[in-house]
Amino acid sequence: MGNITIFLISLAVNCCFWASAAIPIINSSTDESALLAFKAKITQDPYNILLKNWTQGTPFCNWIGITCSHRHQRVKALDLSSIGLKGTIAKEVGNLTFLISLDISNNNFQGNIPDELGHLHRLRGLYMQLNELSGQIPESFGFLNRIQELVLHNNSLSGPIPPAIFNISSFQVIDLMYNFLRGSLPMDTCNNLPNLQSFIVSHNQLGGQIPESFSRCSEIKFLALSYNEFMGSIPGKLGNLSKLEQLYLSGNNLTGELPSTIFNISSLTILQAAYNTISGSLPHDICKKTPRLEILYIFANQLGGQIPSSISGCRSLKHLSLAYNNISGVIPAEMGNMSALQLLHLISNNLTGELPFNFFNISSLTTIVLGYNRFTGNLPEDLCFRHPNLEVLEIESNQIFGNIPSSISLCSALSTIALTSNYLTGGIPPQIGNITGLQNLYLSENNLTGGIPAEIGNITGLQHLFLSDNNLTGEVPFKYFNFSSLVELTFAGNRFSGSVPHDLCFRHPELEYLNLEQNQFHGQIPSGISHCRAMDTLDLFGNKFTGNVPDNIGNMSMLRNLVVGRNNFTGIIPPSIGNLSRLLIFELSWNNFSGRILPELGKLPILEGIFIHTNQFTGEIPPSIFNISTLQELDLSGNHLSSFGES
């Protein structure tokens, strides 16, 4: 009996020995090896943090970015975020089995995420956002059964989202935004995610339908599916998400009506469903159960019907955009009580009636965009008393009339005034020059008279000045213009006179678009025009300019459209024209140019139109012109030319 006992004890000892020999010993030395393997994969360490601090022979628990557990002295947190590291992720990181949090966000890590990270069974937070990671999300992540937050946004990850991820009941945050993920979401997405609070997959390539099972994510507060390829209708059961605060559905292929049930979510603060094909109309009781709604973006859809007066019940609403739909009727007077409103964006609908300013007393409004409707009425004198914080006023392409009130200068925060394509009369008020922060002034296509007030020169930050197609007269007060940031200047279709100053481009070095066509300007094109190095379009058509086109015009390397027809220009085509490699349109018709047509025109690689008819050109037509593959229109008539090869 004693021998048997001794044998059994011996057998047990041997079994334990061999079993322990077969299992790798994982201890603190394993952690150190894993960290050194991680360091070995780093190719760029701009602050020398790992190079100087992560050195073998020093306690790794004291290394920068490392937090160890007190009891076992094992790595429980690795935080190397935002220190400019570049390299790949070592698979040995999967041996840090005590790791609870791994944060390498906002660096330059590349390559795939190792499958071995699925061994980190204690992991609760994984943060790898803002890197250059590629490949697929590892299937092994389905074994991270304690994970609460997975944040991988702003990488280049592709492929499907591993289905096993949707079975991890501990998840609170899944953020995969700004990647290249494909496939569809499982129809039972939320069956096993009772604790999920944020699900963010915007800006990917996901498709299929939005699962109705999202209604089972009862704790969700943040749901972002925008800018993917989801199709079908928006599930009405989303209205059951009683804790939902933010819902993002924009930029998909969603159809059908906007479910009225969504407006039963009293906690909702943001709803964005723009850039879809949603039809129907807004619910008649839209704001009766959403008192906290702050942002409502449903622009660029196919909504019809009218704006319900109940929208005034959204007393917290700050941004309202229903632009680019088919909404008709008038703006409800009740909207004048929406005291928190800052942005009202209703451009491109079928709205009618008078402008709503008479019943709007919303001092918080900063942006009013009502263009491309059929509003009537005029701009009231007290516009800026009612809306003193106004920054953007856009009412182009309507039917408003009357004068531009001089009191508009009291809107001192205005950066944009866009009143193009209306029936405005009278002059441009000189007081507009008091709006010194104005950047964009669009007054084209009205019936404005008089001249340009010199006070406009006070708006030193002006970038876009559009006054075309009015009845404006007199000389342009160029000498008062000191718009160093000016990009576009168009005075076409008026009766302006005077000449183009020689220092135009010294005063406006950023000028890209100059359109003076159909006026009564005279004099020569100043040679200083070549200093407008950013110029894209120079249009002087239909004036009384004389002299030559400057020889140095070829220095305007960004020029795409050169239009000087119907003037009194003489001389030859400057040879430097051959340097304008970006030129698309070359228009010199109805002048008195002479000499030969330069063969250099045939070397312009993307030229689309040549219009030099009705001049005094002589000689042969250069054969190189017919070799321009992009050329669509060519008019050489009304000259004294011979075809190449003719004697």
pTM, entire model: 0.89
- What whole-number distance in Å separates Cα of residue 456 and Cα of residue 433? 4
> Is 489 within 8 Å of 459 (Cβ atoms)?
no
Using DSSP's 3-state secondary structure scheme, residue 365 falls into coil
* Tokens read off for 83: 């220190």
pLDDT of residue 643: 74
**What are residue 248's phi and psi, to 5 degrees?**
-120, 115
DSSP string covering 250-291, please?
-SSEEESBPPGGGGG-TT--EEE--SS--BS---TTTTSS-T
pLDDT of residue 26: 52
- What whole-number distance in Å separates Cα of residue 427 and Cα of residue 68? 74
DSSP string covering 610-628, please?
EE--SSEEEEEPPGGGGG-
The number of C-alpha atoms within 13 Å of 200 and in the hemisphere containing its C-beta is: 20
Residue 180's alpha-carbon distances to 130, 177, 248, in angstroms, are 14, 9, 18
The sign one gets for the Cα dihedral 574, 578, 579, 582 is positive
Residue in the block written with tokens 């020169």: 457
pLDDT of residue 16: 37
Cα 285 to chain centroid distance, Å, stands at: 32
- What whole-number distance in Å separates Cα of residue 167 and Cα of residue 148? 12
pLDDT of residue 297: 98
pLDDT of residue 644: 56
**What are residue 103's phi and psi, to 5 degrees?**
-130, 105
- CA-nearest of 445, 448, 449 to 421 is 445
pLDDT digit string, tens, across residues 486-500: 999 999 999 999 999
Q: Is the confidence at residue 165, as pLDDT, over 60?
A: yes
> Is 459 within 8 Å of 433 (Cβ atoms)?
yes
Share of the chain above pLDDT 70, in %: 95
pLDDT of residue 358: 80
Please report which confidence band the pLDDT of residue 361 belongs to, taking 50, 70 and 90 as the band edges: confident
pLDDT digit string, tens, across residues 147-160: 999 999 999 999 99
Amino acid residing at 520: Q
pLDDT digit string, tens, across residues 176-214: 999 999 999 999 999 999 999 999 999 999 999 999 999
pLDDT of residue 637: 96
pLDDT of residue 647: 32
Average pLDDT over residues 453-477: 96
pLDDT digit string, tens, across residues 246-261: 999 999 999 999 999 9
Q: Is the confidence at residue 318, as pLDDT, over 60?
A: yes
Mean pLDDT of the chain: 93
pLDDT digit string, tens, across residues 71-105: 889 999 999 999 999 999 999 999 999 999 999 99
18 CB-near residues (< 8 Å, 6+ apart): none
Count of all residues that appear for the chain in the document: 647
